[in-house]
Structure 1
Amino acid sequence: MGDRDWTRRRRLAWVSLAALLTFALLIGRLGYIQLVQSPWLTQRAMDSWRRDIPVEPKRGTVYDRNGHVLAYNVSAPTVVAVPAQIRDKAVTAGRLAPVLNVSEQRILSLISKRTLMVYVAGGRKIDDAKAKAVRDLHLPGVYITEEGRRYYPFGELAAHVLGFVGIDNQGLAGLEAQYDARLRGFPGAISFFANAKGEAMPGTESTYIPPQPGEDVYLTLDEQISSFVRREIDRVVAEYHPDSVTAVVADPGTGEILAMENAPTFNPTNYQDYPHQVYDRNLAIWKTFEPGSTFKIVTLSAALQENKIRLDERFFDPGYFEVAGHRIRCWKAGGHGSESFLEVVENSCNPGFMLMGQRLGKDALFHYIRAFGFGSKTGIDLPGEGSGILFKLSRVGPLELATTSFGQGVSVTPIQQVMAVSAVANGGVLMKPYVAAKWVDHETEQVISERQPTPVRRVISPQTAELVRGALESVVARGTGKNAYSEGYRVAGKTGTAQVVGPDGHYMRNHYIVSFIGMAPADHPRLVAYVAVDNPKAPVIFGGVIAAPVVGHILADSLQYLGVPPSSQGIPREYGYLDTKPVEVPDVAGRSLDEARRTMLESSAQLNVATAGQGDYVIAQAPQAGTKVPPGTTVRIYLGPKPAGAP
């Protein structure tokens, strides 16, 4: 055998071996694909053929702290169509039109589109009867899915806290936006298999993948306390026609927000019917303005904590305070003359507070201002919070120090003021406010998570906080806050009347924000309440006249609702010659209706009577007998049958 034959045979052997190896590799690869990758490839193919019609999940329910429903979803059937699966579009449109009460042409134009899925005109969120009628048509390519519509059964109540959702069930404002990921849930689907043209594949059926509902949430809000606040705001709007009103009620010990209301407001169910400036802005956390005299609580707390004043120390107010060549006048012409620092607080005397600021100095005063939470967001779990504006310390001179001492030149939010005063109420600790208290599984009702109160920092000592509360109780009993006084409940608080800065940077004439912030009971506060009224139309514009009664009513009604017993241990109210003294409500229980009316009319207060129920005899009354009320108050009496044993 020659060399040439040997070479040829060797090459043939190598080619044969290579072919054998290649064939072996191909067989191995084919086996690997068939045996190992088959499930994965099948799944990829199935995924490419699968088409899903989304089924909207049920959005989580929102409850108040006592389980009252504030927001919930109602499921409604919706008709959708897959155009590629509808062979005779004219017939389909003709059969759907009379059921859905729309024109054939409108439906035909929709189901003729080159798209995977369309919502059928007239078929979104229909009633069950129409949905059954559509199903009974058995039309290829026509499906029934479900959508949810959000309802807010209390209408405008807590609207800015709750927020609202859009057409696709997504949170757009308030809590609905803040916690959208938890409330929304996960969508399901009606799943079917289709070819590249969207036509249903023979031998396959649609499957239903149920959606997962969102989590339910229990808020810190109290529907009843919110109703008290809403009532008072509506009264202020009707009487004074202000540009806006905002009010907040909080538990000072925990930071829980019990009520947060604004005017103007809106109904979240139909938010589109209102200007966006109304539903976009939660004034209680967004709006910033000069606080005026309610800010003096910070100055007072700092001065007492740093031992710069004593409440029994004397001060002379000539009616002005001179600083850096400027004469800043007291609100009272001629001044208050000789007074103690307790009377400085009672009288809301600006020169007295400027002296406190001067004794503190800018470093100490601004340290306490920031420690109380001003100049930064509180971190409340609601979108759109403002942070306010403070002077940079490097720009604070004697004049800025003086004006800041009585609440002018700084800009704060209502929620900042509520939390700052809550620190005084709870013994000196700044708390973080919150509104979402507990998350619950919608189906099992098991608690998923629960929020605990969050202390931020200690600001003042318990002893200083007690001194400040005592001074503020004296403000309500004997000073500018008398109109917040509530017989039987120890209310402490501070008035505020602040000018508003205009677009030109100067204070506007006859434009004020009047406010009042109060707490009760003063010895161990359960509640802190704040109200601010922007630009009220009234002959006398003072926080003590317009805002103080609002807080007084809110605190009294809320404490009575919470079962807090009245107390006679507080500072008795001091009455001036222009003040109207309260009168005691007589006991008319068990008497006939005529007798009850006569008794009320014959009382020195000439009390009015409103009746409720059916019958000729009084079975209950509100306010209760012995309660002290202003003259002319309406007493509601509840009627029923003649009590057993009555003459």
Structure 2
Amino acid sequence: MRTVIGYQSKKRIRAIFVLFILSLAMVVGKLFHVQIIKHEILKDRAEASWDREIPFGGMRGDILDRNGNLIVGNRLAPTLYFMPTQNRDIKNSSKPLAAILGVDEAKLAKKMSQREVMVKLAPEGKNITKELSDEISRLQIDGLYTGVDFVRHYPNGELLSRLIGFTGYDGKGLAGIEYAYDEFLLGTGDRIRLYTDAIGLPLPHVDDGFKTGVKGANVELTIDVRMQKIVERELVQAMEKYDATQALAIVMNPKTGELLSLASAPTFHPSDYKDVDQSIYNRNLPVWMTFEPGSTFKIVTLAAGLEEKVIDLHQDHFHDPGYVMIGKARLRCWKRSGHKHQSFLEVVENSCNPGFVEIGQRLGGETLGKYIRDFGFGQSTESGIAGESKGILFSEKNFGPVEQATTAFGQGISVTPIQQVQAVAAAINGGYLYRPYIVKEITDDKGKAVRSFGPEMQRRVIGDEASKHVREALESVVAKGSGGKAFTDGLRVGGKTGTAQKVVDGRYKDGDYIVSFIGFAPADDPELLVYVAVDGPKNSVQFGGVIAAPIVGRIMEEIAPLAGITVRKGQIEKEYKWGDALTQRAPDLTGMTKGMITSQLHTFQIEWHGSGEQVKTQLPVANTLISVEDVIHVYTE
């Protein structure tokens, strides 16, 4: 009996021992799993429960011009954070802080007393200056931390504001390039990691950490800042001189579609967008605005007529009595008495409406409509610029004889400026329709290309021969016709004027016009295309040739050297018109003596520099086109 009982006791003890060993093994295994295998995971979870992060603002990428010049960058603007549990004397802490920030002490103290682990002192302490931040740090306020933040920096002030747009309170793009390319420009900020207990007190045994962010990508535009400054200056002067409602300009390379300048007036400073009417910063006029193009659209009709060989500029002639009858509709020329008998080159020079109606009729409605759409009208150019409109064309069923006639000279349809520039570029570059584009490249913070953009030819609209004749006709418009005020000696400028009456509630408004001019240079091999439109000009005769043409001429003269364009040969000499300044080519006086020059009885004023007898150099140089009232400066040895 004792033997049986002893055996059972030993059996129980052995079982208990085995269970103990198994339990111990399970505990050791669990400890091994927790402390070795899942150590990092559990550590991260623990730290996350202690973690209090002070964020650094994400640094957005820069916006640069085609030459690497900064258009939009970043400026250090710290933001204050406060941990109430680390400071028991909020009253005495808020007083000096409020004094430095220049804010109400009671409101600041209330914000600092919130029952939260960390309080962002905004807007009082958001995006303050570095100088203020340094002054505040010297106060040594317990629980007060400074987070690094950034705001956008505009080294050129208002330049390009309606193109580049702006960022909001949270640093995200809200308009323009900032909005359209926000996914690339947006950066992730650094963060300081503070470790505290449940009530916010620092943990002495845990070191603070740091999370590194990534700077946003840089966006390099096709814009040339040097050209942009010239263009915007001219628009501002035009707005003041003519008391205009608004104005716009585009400069493009017609061989590639690169937009070298894109300007709207009035402008605004991007950092002050809240003080500006939304109609200004939400409307990038060169791509948003739609209006009847007027006579600049005649270039499309001309190009189609030349390609289809329904006209010959020199051999074909047309008689203009001052109007043309289309059914019962009388469509008048801008010159009421008419231009009478003229070649089709003169039709273009004179911007004769009935003459272009004739070209449209020879083409026929179906063919004219096809060319209009092939040139890119009625659809977005897909330039990559936010807010682009498509314009409005007549539908095929509503494109009757009257609509066909008015469309031929740019009336009754609605187009955007960038569509016109795209179309004219194709008309003068050999017939190649290129997509306009504004972004050249997007690069990361190490300079590696994320995306690159280049010329994109969509289709060919006309051939070389027709394009050559378009250039010839439009150069003649500037030298002999309505675009004379855009003439720039040596550059061989070609172009076309436009004067469009504005439509309000379906009716043309008397005395309210949009005047424009589109010009290019050099006419034999175009490198620059410049379009300017002025909306609602006053204090002057409202014609594109009077107001917009001289603006384009001045812009062209200044930006040509920046594009590497030099004086060209084969220029058509400017034809004098009543009211023009009398001009003449400067004579070559180099090598002559004072007696020889005097004996030739020149009518120019001559100013001598130096005490020698023989002329070594002169300004302006020989053969320069100068006014009869200009002074020739001669320099002796």
TM-score bracket, shorter-length normalisation: 0.7 to 0.9
Aligned residues: 602
Counterpart CA distance in 2 for 1:91 and 1:205 is 29
Helix, strand or coil: the match of 2:410?
Answer: coil
Helix, strand or coil: the match of 2:560?
Answer: helix
Matches within 5 A, 1:332-343: 332-343=335-346
- Aligned 8 A contact 1:55 1:210 in 2: no
Percent of paired sites with the same residue: 43
- What is residue 6 of structure 1 aligned with on the other side? none
Q: Does 1:527 pair with 2:528?
A: yes
Q: TM-score if structure 2 supplies the norm length?
A: 0.86
Question: Structure 1 residue aligned with 2:625, among 628, 638, 645?
Answer: 628
- What is residue 147 of structure 1 aligned with on the other side? 149
Counterpart CA distance in 1 for 2:629 and 2:200 is 76
- Aligned 8 A contact 1:75 1:148 in 2: yes
Question: Structure 1 residue aligned with 2:376, among 373, 376, 397?
Answer: 373
Counterpart CA distance in 2 for 1:209 and 1:489 is 58
- What is residue 311 of structure 2 aligned with on the other side? 309
**1:379 positional shift:** 1.1
Q: Does 1:276 pair with 2:273?
A: no
Question: Structure 2 residue aligned with 1:426, among 403, 426, 429?
Answer: 429
Matches within 5 A, 1:40-59: 40-59=41-60
- Aligned 8 A contact 2:76 2:130 in 1: no
Question: Structure 1 residue aligned with 2:395, among 374, 392, 396?
Answer: 392
Letter in 2 for 1:452: G
Q: Compared with structure 1, are the counterparts of its residues 425 and 389 closer, same or farther at alpha carbon in structure 2 (3 Å cutoff)?
A: same
Q: Compared with structure 1, are the counterparts of its residues 236 and 42 closer, same or farther at alpha carbon in structure 2 (3 Å cutoff)?
A: same
Counterpart CA distance in 1 for 2:539 and 2:82 is 60
Counterpart CA distance in 1 for 2:503 and 2:606 is 44
- Aligned 8 A contact 1:81 1:143 in 2: yes
Q: Compared with structure 1, are the counterparts of its residues 481 and 54 closer, same or farther at alpha carbon in structure 2 (3 Å cutoff)?
A: same
Q: Compared with structure 1, are the counterparts of its residues 583 and 441 closer, same or farther at alpha carbon in structure 2 (3 Å cutoff)?
A: farther
**1:107 positional shift:** 2.8
Matches within 5 A, 1:191-210: 191-210=193-212
Counterpart CA distance in 2 for 1:343 and 1:192 is 80
Counterpart CA distance in 2 for 1:424 and 1:300 is 9
Helix, strand or coil: the match of 2:264?
Answer: strand
- Aligned 8 A contact 1:110 1:120 in 2: no
**1:313 positional shift:** 0.9
- What is residue 165 of structure 1 aligned with on the other side? 167
Q: Does 1:364 pair with 2:350?
A: no
- Cα offsets for 1:263-322 (capped at 9, x unmatched): 111122333333222222111110000000100111111111122222221112121111
Question: Structure 2 residue aligned with 1:413, among 404, 411, 416?
Answer: 416
**1:407 positional shift:** 0.5
- What is residue 478 of structure 1 aligned with on the other side? 480
Counterpart CA distance in 2 for 1:605 and 1:159 is 46
- Aligned 8 A contact 1:55 1:188 in 2: yes
Matches within 5 A, 1:214-363: 214-311=216-313, 312-363=315-366
**1:603 positional shift:** 8.9
Helix, strand or coil: the match of 1:247?
Answer: strand
Letter in 2 for 1:291: P
**1:132 positional shift:** 3.6
Letter in 2 for 1:239: K
Letter in 2 for 1:301: A
Q: Compared with structure 1, are the counterparts of its residues 535 and 268 closer, same or farther at alpha carbon in structure 2 (3 Å cutoff)?
A: same
- Cα offsets for 1:406-462 (capped at 9, x unmatched): 1111101111111111112321111111222123344x4444443221112111112
**1:41 positional shift:** 3.6
Counterpart CA distance in 2 for 1:633 and 1:506 is 48
- What is residue 3 of structure 2 aligned with on the other side? none
- What is residue 9 of structure 1 aligned with on the other side? none
Q: TM-score if structure 1 supplies the norm length?
A: 0.85
- Aligned 8 A contact 2:605 2:631 in 1: no
Q: Compared with structure 1, are the counterparts of its residues 301 and 206 closer, same or farther at alpha carbon in structure 2 (3 Å cutoff)?
A: same
Q: Compared with structure 1, are the counterparts of its residues 189 and 587 closer, same or farther at alpha carbon in structure 2 (3 Å cutoff)?
A: farther
- Cα offsets for 1:141-161 (capped at 9, x unmatched): 211111212222222222212
Counterpart CA distance in 2 for 1:289 and 1:362 is 22
Helix, strand or coil: the match of 2:159?
Answer: coil
- Cα offsets for 1:230-256 (capped at 9, x unmatched): 222122122211111111111111111
Task: Give RMSD over aligned pairs.
Answer: 3.3
Q: Unpaired segments of 5 or more residues in structure 2?
A: 1-11, 608-615
